[in-house]
Chain A
């Protein structure tokens, strides 16, 4: 139950404090989500605004922990099963013609999407010539992504998603259970590079045949979102594919004319100019 709610003016003060202490800049983030998460943080840690301010001023792990909780992306393996079905039939069939396939999972959180793509590439025989760059702004989630460890409870949901996405085996073929947790098999990790990248600050670092940036754009406000779209556009090879979340479109991106729609409901686009 929420007992504490912040007001927008207080949120702006916190954003300023965080930048002052850590250098991390929330100014391009969507305010309503930040307000909701910051209020949630106060409730969870039983703090009021002045306690939060002192907590942020401690710097180091304290401020880092706060940034982490406000930016964490909740994801699932094979989220939106029909997306993976279309990916296999309409995108991978095209990628097949490339000798090397570079994919970028932008905002990869704990690696759910990267491992899902790895599995799909494996089942279509493309994995050995693919390289998946999975990036996030948080070292902490990247460390967890590298380990490839997920709770068994989550794995049940992921397994259902996997079956719905017409996976060819059983998801349990791709992990083993240790200490009551699911650990992804090392073979899947082989061609995934997890590394630090902040979509709001860092630039283009490679050229990709496909970029998956699902449910990340909704973290940003209108101006920041346009900047991130530019970065993704510039990171894509000509005729490369851009995959957005199920409820995210190119609307208000400034790049509506540069892509053709591969699938309107699942927001799969191809760069055409």
Chain B
């Protein structure tokens, strides 16, 4: 029943909430040439948030940006944004699944929903990164990803606009790599590294 996934899919997962929007904008501006991986952004958004992020961010990068629909296959060199009012899950068959389940940490999309599903999917995770935010969402998913042997990066709570989210992730798992000030160059090298 479980379909074999595309081995070439390699995910970079980024989660953020309050204080992360401008970080995500800066990261998008780094994307000036084709990627070997697929990038998934999960940003806490209100359910009635009408703005479509690919439209909003159009001027930052030439790469393809999408808000995935249910069952869309994950494609290399594409940037995805979780839509408001649904959880975005990643399936073992390399497809996105939308989920209408209850909110997690008062959020839908929740970062944990995406990160936990990615950790369990068996797909390759090149890196998972967690930034500023006012809830503890993402901490459990980050821990699970790290325990599966994938690379995890957490913004230094001291430099984060809102410390609670990165601090919770570090509290639950102390061995995450910490992103300090001026971390954008580091993120660029993560995104463009050839190692999986």
Residue numbers of A with Cβ under 8 A of B are 1-2, 5, 7-8, 12, 27, 30-33, 35-37, 39-40, 73-74, 81, 164, 215, 217-219, 222, 225, 245-249, 251-252
Please list the 8 inter-chain residue pairs (A to B) with the smallest Cβ-Cβ separation, ordered nearest first. Answer: A32-B89, A32-B97, A32-B91, A33-B99, A218-B98, A215-B100, A218-B70, A32-B117
Q: Are A8 and B120 in contact (CB under 8 A)?
A: yes
When C-beta atoms are compared, the residue in chain B nearest to A30 turns out to be B97
Q: Is the CB of B99 within 8 A of A32?
A: yes
For A40, give the chain B residue with the smallest CB separation: B101
Pair A218/B102 contact, Cβ less than 8 Å: no
B111 on interface, CB distance cutoff 8 Å: no
B binding-site residues for A, Cβ under 8 Å: 1-2, 48, 69-72, 83, 85-87, 89-92, 97-102, 112-113, 116-117, 120-122, 140, 144
Chain A residues contacting B70 (CB-CB under 8 Å) are 217-218, 247-248
Q: Which residues of B contact A31 (CB under 8 A)?
A: 1-2, 91-92
- For B85, give the chain A residue with the smallest CB separation: A246
Q: Which residues of A contact B69 (CB under 8 A)?
A: 247-249, 251
Give A246 to B120 CA distance when docked, in angstroms: 27
B120 & A30 in contact (Cβ 8 Å cutoff): no
B101 and A36 contacting across the interface, CB-CB below 8 Å = yes
Which among A2, A7, A33, A39 has the highest number of chain B CB atoms within 10 Å?
A33
Residues of A within 8 A of B102 (CB): 74
Interface pair A35/B120, CB less than 8 Å apart: yes
Is the pair B117, A36 in contact by a Cβ cutoff of 8 Å? yes
CA distance A37 to B90 in the complex (A): 14
Other contacts beyond A2-B116, A8-B2: 12, CB < 8 A: A31-B92, A32-B99, A32-B117, A33-B99, A36-B101, A37-B101, A73-B100, A74-B101, A218-B86, A218-B98, A218-B100, A247-B86
User: Chain B residues with Cβ under 8 A from A73's Cβ?
Assistant: 100
Residues of A within 8 A of B87 (CB): 36
Give chain A residues whose Cβ lies under 8 Å from the Cβ of B101: 33, 36-37, 40, 74
CB distance from A43 to the nearest CB of B (A): 11
Chain A residues with CB under 8 A of B112: 2
- Could you name 8 residue pairs across A and B whose Cβ atoms are closer than 8 Å? A5-B144, A8-B2, A31-B91, A31-B92, A33-B97, A73-B100, A218-B97, A247-B83
Residue numbers in A under 8 Å from B99 (CB-CB) = 30, 32-33, 36, 218
Q: Kindly list chain A residues whose C-beta atoms are within 8 Å of the C-beta of B117.
A: 32, 35-36
| Residues of the B chain whose Cβ atoms lie less than 8 Å from the Cβ of A249 | 69
For residue B56, give the distance in angstroms from its CB to the closest CB of chain A.
16
Report A-chain residues with C-beta under 8 Å of the C-beta of B72.
251
**A225–B71 Cα gap in the complex (Å)?**
10
How far is A219 from B101 in the complex, measured between Cα atoms in Å?
10
- Give the docked Cα–Cα distance between A217 and B91 (Å): 16
Partner of B140, one of A2, A35, A245: A2
CA A217 to CA B90, docked complex, whole Å: 17
- Chain B's nearest CB lies how many Å from the CB of A3? 9
In the bound assembly, the distance between CA atoms of A21 and B14 in angstroms comes to 41
When A5-B120, A251-B71 are in contact, do A30 and B91 touch as well, CB less than 8 Å?
yes
Smallest CB gap from A216: residue in B: B100
> B residues within 8 A CB of A7?
120
Q: How far apart are A205's CB and chain B's nearest CB, in angstroms?
A: 25
> Looking across the interface, which residue of chain A has its beta carbon closest to that of B2?
A8
CB distance from A217 to the nearest CB of B (A): 7
The residue in chain B whose Cβ has the minimal distance to the Cβ of A164 is B48
